[in-house]
Amino acid sequence: MATSSGVVCEICEAQHITKSANVWCPECEEGMCSECEKHHSFAKATRKHEIISIENYLKLQSSILKIATYCNEHNLKYQNYCPQDDKICCSVCISEYHKNCCGLKSLQEIVKTFKASALLENIDQSLKDMMYNIDSIMNEREQNLNAIEKQRKQFHAEIKQTRQKVNTHLDSLEEQILMKLNAAETEIKSKLNTLMSQLINKRKSVETLHTNISALKEYASDLQIFLGSKLLETEVDTENKYLQSLFQDDSLHQNELKFSISEKISDILTTVTAFGSVSSETSKACTVYKTDKEKQAQILSVEPHPRRSIDSISFSLQSQFQTVPQAIIRGFTVSPSGLIVFVDNTRRLCILNTNGSYDLIKNNLSCYNDVTFISDSTVAVSSNNAIEIINIDSKVTERVIRIQGNCCGIRFYNGKLICNVSTKGIQEVQLSNGQITDLVKQSDIENWSFLAIHDDKIYQTTSDHFVRCYTMKGEKLWEHILHQNVDAARGITVDINGIIYVAIYNKNYIALISPDGRRCRPLQIKDTESPWGLHINAITNSLTVTSYFTGQVLLYDIC
């Protein structure tokens, strides 16, 4: 017999009685009628289970509803989480597949911690950002359509005014030029309308995901939230990549109609064979893709700051503060929202506050070498023979990737980690599957070799006096050699003009290298000693410098 909700009480069904379920228990994975719910709430084994109404249960995404809390292979309840393999497991799974894994966590504790993390909020905000960007793009495309129509009308009027000054010989030429003009407008409108249709569909998809994430947050169980978030994060990443691709190709270039009247219009009866010409052209989009995580800028904003050369740059000290005494900052990273996370020589990973104090995230057994943001709540930390993926909100190591060598400088780029590995070279680590690829084989990589990524290029300091530039495929573009046996190059960063900044820690200056790697200009640092780490904020046009021996952090305006 069919029930009104489509979900039956499974306890009654086991007794050959068909009743509609009024509530759903995610932990038991079964529906219950009102009578069975009472027994369920009194029983010692189930009295602490959180139940939801059938109406709310049916609002959850189908993929969330299919999530099982029991191991299909061993028919046992999942009890642990392996961050190294990113898998949940039962007691038998541990003994069979994870006995050599490190850092196994209690699933119950992970779920409790995860619910309090910012991942769901980040996904929710990403969906809102995408909807905002889609709406902004659609509004701008609508304005482009209106502008194109006005241009067409303007040119049409100009054609008609010129046409009235000549005789009937222009009739056929006028017809030809109008056909070309209308055809050009139709072609542009067709492209724009196609993009608009795609954006409307994308917005619906994003809106659906947003509805699903809202239902997930409100009605799903802790475990469903944990596992469902990963499913939704993949779908969100797919939609986000589509939006980013619009900014990378010519889809958002401005469309314009071009028209010119023949200079020989007065000789039309004898020499002119065409009324004029019609064409369309695009110009580079004046907007850049932004999200809420980049709080210093608007979601769609004009790229700031004029182009500079290494000869015109100077520094002006804005502020400085002292970090924890006896702490040597080995590496640091800055999120788009301005949050600074550092690793030091005492094996700590910390959030740095603007007054010089810090909040401890993790204290490692082995030394951390460098750190990079993956998202506003997640960082990747390099160490000896490993990379740790750490959630800075929950302070939980979500994953460990083993590396064959000492991993020093590390940077995140487009879903992968680019890192310097001693005696190996530059390696690429895919976060999706942990696959490691050699981009550049080098034997001279040392412990203090750092990286920067800018405009699809990799910049590297190594062996104290080498600064190298590679494509993302590992092809060398240039190499600059600093003063051999004199300079000791450490931190590296790149500004929006492609100028490279290298910290020369034993000489107290910053080396400015031209984008082609041919020229170098030393710029002395007078406010501290032994500059080590560097970071440029492209929005505020400022440079953060950390000192190796003094533990100072300095913020300079780039003038």
Rounded CA-CA distance 31/10 in Å is 6
Number of other residues whose CB lies within 10 A of the CB of residue 257 = 20
For residue 70, the 8-state DSSP code is B
In sequence order, the 6+-apart residues with CB closer than 8 A to the CB of 416 are: 428, 429, 430, 431
pLDDT at 365: 66
In sequence order, the 6+-apart residues with CB closer than 8 A to the CB of 391 are: 117, 119, 377, 378, 398
User: Which of the four pLDDT bands, split at 50, 70 and 90, describes residue 426?
Assistant: very high
- One-letter amino acid identity for 261? I
Give 119-134 pLDDT, tens digit per residue.
666 777 778 878 878 8
Listed residue (442, 453, 449) closest to 465, CA to CA: 449
* Beta-sheet pairing, 500-504 with 509-513: antiparallel
Yes or no: say if 254 and 146 are a contact pair by the CB < 8 Å rule.
Answer: no
For residue 174, the 8-state DSSP code is H
User: Which of the four pLDDT bands, split at 50, 70 and 90, describes residue 418?
Assistant: very high
In sequence order, the 6+-apart residues with CB closer than 8 A to the CB of 341 are: 332, 333, 335, 349, 350, 351, 352, 361, 371, 373, 379, 392
- One-letter amino acid identity for 119? L
Rounded CA-CA distance 147/153 in Å is 10
Strand partners, 437: 428
Over pLDDT 70: what percentage of the chain?
A: 86
Q: Kindly report each contact of residues 43-51 with a partner whose C-beta sits within 8 Å and lies 24 or more positions away, as own/partner.
A: 49/25, 50/25, 50/26, 50/221, 51/23, 51/24, 51/25, 51/26
Listed residue (286, 288, 254) closest to 146, CA to CA: 254
pLDDT at 323: 73
Rounded CA-CA distance 499/493 in Å is 9
User: Which of the four pLDDT bands, split at 50, 70 and 90, describes residue 324?
Assistant: low
Give 219-278 pLDDT, tens digit per residue.
888 788 888 888 888 888 888 888 888 888 777 888 888 887 766 665 655 666 676 777
Full strand arrangement of the beta sheet holding 552-558:
315-322, 552-558, 542-547, 531-537
Yes or no: say if 87 and 243 are a contact pair by the CB < 8 Å rule.
Answer: no
Listed residue (391, 311, 370, 297) closest to 546, CA to CA: 370
Yes or no: say if 88 and 400 are a contact pair by the CB < 8 Å rule.
Answer: no
Yes or no: say if 52 and 29 are a contact pair by the CB < 8 Å rule.
Answer: no
Give the orientation angle of helix 170-219 with respect to helix 222-248, to 10 degrees. Answer: 160
User: Which of the four pLDDT bands, split at 50, 70 and 90, describes residue 286?
Assistant: very low
Sign of CA dihedral 240, 245, 248, 254: negative
Q: Is the pLDDT of residue 550 over 90?
A: no
Structure tokens that stand for 220 in this block: 């799903």
Sign of CA dihedral 104, 106, 368, 469: positive
Measured CA distances, 141 to 136, 137, 278 (Å): 9, 6, 21
Yes or no: say if 88 and 107 are a contact pair by the CB < 8 Å rule.
Answer: yes
Give 130-189 pLDDT, tens digit per residue.
887 888 788 778 878 887 888 888 888 888 777 676 666 667 777 888 888 898 888 888
Rounded CA-CA distance 174/515 in Å is 52
Give 370-412 pLDDT, tens digit per residue.
999 998 889 999 988 899 999 988 888 889 999 888 898 999 9
